[in-house]
Structure 1
Amino acid sequence: MTPLAAIVPAAGFSSRMGRLKPLLPLGETTVLGRVVGLFRSAGVERIIVVTGNRGDEVAGAAREAGAQAVHNPDFARGMYSSILAGARALPVDAEGFFVLPADIPLVRRETVLRLMHSFGLERPAIVYPRFRDERGHPPLIGRELLPDILAHDGEGGLRAVLERHQRDAHDLDVADSAILRDIDGPEDYEAALADAGRGYPTPEECAQLWALSGGTGHVMRHCRAVARVAEALCAALNARNPAYPLDMDLVRSAALVHDIGKGTRRHEEAGAELLLDHGFPDAAGIVRVHFDLDLADDAPVAEREVVFLADKLVRCDRPVALDDRYLEKMAMHADEPGAVPAIRGRLERARKMLARFDREMGVPAEQLAREALA
C-alpha cells in the first residue's frame, strides 16, 4: 500500500458557531474524533491535526483519537498557515497526503478508500473527490507538490497552488455529498447531528449512483415509481402505528436504487454490493432482499418489506395487480425447467405479504399503488 498521511486543520476560532467546532459532540465521538477516525478506519496511520485556538484542548483530543498534534502559532493568519504547519510535519516516506479541515466531518470511509485506490492506480499529482460536477474535500495531493506548497505566500490559499497543477489532476466522481458540507454555523451542526449515522443515500446521492452505474432510463423510471408507491405504503403504516414509525427517508432511498444492479445475474446482490462499496449499508440490506422475501407471522413489518411489496405492485412505471405480475413471469419462463414452481413459491410469499399489509394499513395496498401512480 502506498504510504499516505493526512493533514487536519483544526486551528480556527469557530466564531460563527460560537462554540469550538472540533470538540463538539458528533455521534459517539466529537467532530475532530470523527475526522481522525475516518482516516484511521481507511488505514491512514499518520494523521496530523494542526491546532491553534485553544490549542491544548484540541491537541489533547487529537492525541486521544490517535493523531499527532502540531501547533500553529500563526493560526490567526488563516487556514493556509495551518496547512503549512501540517506540511512541514509530514513524514518523509509519505507519497501523498489528504487535506481535510476538521469541520468537514461526514465524509465516508468508502470515499477515502476510493481516492486512495485511484491515487495508487494512476498516480496523478492530485485526486479530487467530485460530487455532481463539484469538487470537494479531501483532495489527495502527491508529495511532489510540497515544494510549491511550502514556497507559496498564501495568496489564494491552497487552491491557488493546486490550480497550477491542473493538468496533472484527476477528478474522481463519488456518491458522497458530505465532501461539500462543512459545519459553519449552528444549523449546519444540527444537520450533521441528524446525518451522522445515515446509512442510505440522499435523493441527490441516488442520482449520482445512477450516473456512476450507467443505469438505463426505463429502470430508473421504474425505481422512481416504486419509490412513490413505497412512500404511500409507509405513510399508511405510520398513520396506523404512530408510536413506532418506519423511516420514510430510508424507504424512499432504498426504493430509488433497488434495481441499480439490474442487468447483472442476481441483480439484487450486485446492487447491494454496489451500495456497500459507496458506504450505504442500510440501503444495501433492503436492496439485497427485495427480489424475494418472507415475513414470519410474529415479525414486525419493517422498511425492507415496504420496498419489497411496492416493487411487486409496479410493472415498469405503472401499477399492476400482484397476481398479474407473477402470472406474467410464469408465462415468460414456462419453458425453463423449474422456473414456474420457483415463481409460484415467490407468488405465495408475496400474497402473504400483501394480506399482512392490507390488514395493518386498513386499506388495500393495490389501491394505494394505483392512487400513488395516478
Structure 2
Amino acid sequence: MITAIIVAAGYSFRMKQFKPLLSLGERTVLERAVESFLKSGIRDIRVVVGHRADELYPILERLGVQTIVNPNFAEGMFSSVTAGIKSLSPGTQGFFLLPVDNPIVKKDTIKKLQNAFFATEFGIIYPTYQGTRGHPPLISCRYLSNVMAWEGPGGMRALLDHYEQDALEIEVEDPGILLDMDTPEDYQQMQKYCGYKRIPSENECNALLKNSNTSVQVINHCQQVALLSVVISSYLVGRGCPLNIDLIQASALLHDLAKGVPDHAQVGADMLNKYPEVAQIVAEHTDICLNSTNQSITEKEIVYLADKLVKDGHIISLQARFSGPLEQYRNNCKVFNKIMLRLSNAQLIQSKIEQIIEMPLQNIWMG
C-alpha cells in the first residue's frame, strides 16, 4: 500500500499569507494538493497540520482524508514529516511526501512513480522535469527508522542525500513538480500555470470589447483603468502581496464590457461566465462587498479603486470624482447614501494600499 503525506503545518512566513488557504482557481492550495493524489487513485492521504489547524479541519473532513496534528510544528518542517511518518499503517510499503506549497502534480506523474517503485528495487523515487528533481518523492518504508533517528541538519533532504545510491529519477512531462509557493512571485507564477485558461489575454480582452460593440470612449477608459491597476499592483507585489496581475489587468480591461445597459456590472459578469474569476471582479466593480476583518488587499479591490480614480482619461482624486454626484443627489437620500458607500469603500481600499506601500497613492503616478 502507498500512502501520501501532505505537510501543511508551517507558518508561511515568506508568503505572508497562509498558503494552504490561498486560492488556485476555484479551489484552495490544500484542496489542489489532495486532489493530485485522489485523481491518481491514492486513497490513504494524510495531511499534517499545525499552524491555524482549526481553519483546515472542515476542508479535510469534507475531502475525507486523515488529519495528523503536529503539536511541535514550530520546530520546523522535519517535525511535521516525522509526525506524518509515525501515523503510517503497518502495511504501508512506501509514502509520497509533498509540501502543501507544491500542490500541482499530474496524476500521470504519481502513477509513473508508483510503477517504478513496484518494478524496481530502488527505495527513493524522484520525479524530474527536464533533468531537475521535483516533488513529491516516493520513499520506501524501509527508511522509516532512519528518518525517526535522524538528528542532523538539513531535514529530510539532507537525510535522503545519504542514500543517493538507492535513488532513481523518473523523467515526467510535468512542470508542476518544480512549482512551489515560497514567495508572492512564486504564487503568481503558479496561478498563471493553473489558471491561464480562465484569464483572457490582452488580445482576447480587446476582441471581447470589440465584439460587444463597446464604444471607443469606454474602451479608452478601460485601458486607463487597466494601466493604473497594473501599476498599483506592481507596487503591492513588491511589498509582498500575492496578487495575480494578469487577472487584475484582464478584469480592468473588461470591467465596463456592458456599459450603457442597466446593471451593467452584473450583465458584463454574465457575459464572462467562461472566465469565472474575471466575472466575479467585474460584477463588483461598481458596488463592492468588502470583508471588514481582512486586512490583505485583493484583486477586486484594486480594480474597484482604479475605476473610481479614472475619469475622462485622467487620474483624479476620490474627492474630485465623487463631489459632483454627491452634490447632484444631495436631496435624494437613497441615491446619495449609495454614492457615499461607494466613496467610503474606495477610501478604505486606498487607505489599506497606502499602509502597505508606505506612501500616498498619488505619489505612484505623480512621481
Q: TM-score, normalised by structure 2?
A: 0.53
Of 5, 8, 33 in structure 2, the residue corresponding to residue 7 of structure 1 is 5
Amino acid at match of 1:139: P
Map of 1:68 onto structure 2: 66
CA distance in structure 2 between the partners assigned to 1:119 and 1:101 by the alignment:
20
2:78 maps to which residue? 80
In structure 2, the residue matched to 1:130 is 128
Mapped pair 1:187 → 2:167 = no
Residue of structure 1 equivalent to 2:113: 115
Structure 1 stretch 138-147 or stretch 8-17: which is displaced more? 8-17
Residue type of the alignment partner of 1:24: L
Conserved? CA contact 1:36–1:66, under 8 Å: no
CA distance 1:120–1:190, change in 2 (3 Å): same
Q: Percent identity?
A: 41
Whether 2:42 is the aligned partner of 1:44: answer yes
Secondary structure at the aligned position of 2:17 is classed as coil
Distance 1:61 1:151, change over 3 A: same
Q: Secondary structure at the match of 1:73?
A: coil
Specify the code of the residue in structure 1 equivalent to 2:54: D
* Deviations, residues 51-108 of structure 1 (Å, cap 9, x unaligned): 1111121233222222111111111111100000000001111110000000111121
1:137 Cα offset (Å): 0.6
Task: Please tell me whether the aligned partners of residues 81 and 154 of structure 1 are also in contact (alpha carbons under 8 angstroms).
Answer: no
Q: TM-score, normalised by structure 1?
A: 0.52
Closer, same or farther: CA 154–66 of 1 in aligned 2, 3 Å: farther
Residue pair 2:24, 2:195 contacting (<8 A) in 1 also: no
Does residue 159 of structure 2 align to residue 177 of structure 1?
no
Distance 1:58 1:193 in 2: 21
Q: Do 1:6 and 1:46's aligned partners in 2 also have CA atoms closer than 8 Å? A: yes
**Aligned-partner Cα distance in 2 for 1:180–1:143:** 24
Cα deviation for residue 47 of structure 1 reads 0.9
Contact 1:238–1:244 (8 Å) recurs in 2: no
C-alpha deviation, 1:181, in angstroms = 1.3
User: Are the equivalent residues in 2 in contact too, given 1:23–1:61 (CA < 8 A)?
Assistant: no
Q: Aligned partners of 1:170, 1:189: CA distance in 2, in Å?
A: 29
CA deviations over 1:169-192 (Å, ceiling 9, x no partner): 110011212111111222222222
- What does 1:1-374 correspond to in 2, within 5 Å? 3-197=1-195, 241=207, 243=209
Q: Which amino acid aligns with 1:153?
A: E
Instruction: Write the distance in 2 (CA, Å) between the matches of 1:241 and 1:83.
Output: 50
Report the more deviating stretch, 58-67 or 23-32.
58-67
CA 238–143 in structure 1, closer or farther in 2 if over 3 Å, else same: closer
Runs of 4+ in 1 over 4 A off after TM superposition: 237-245
CA distance in 2, matches of 1:39, 1:238: 34
Contact in 2 for aligned 1:96/1:143 (Cα 8 Å): yes
Q: 1:138 to 1:240 in 2, by over 3 A?
A: closer
The CA RMSD over aligned residues, in Å, is 2.4
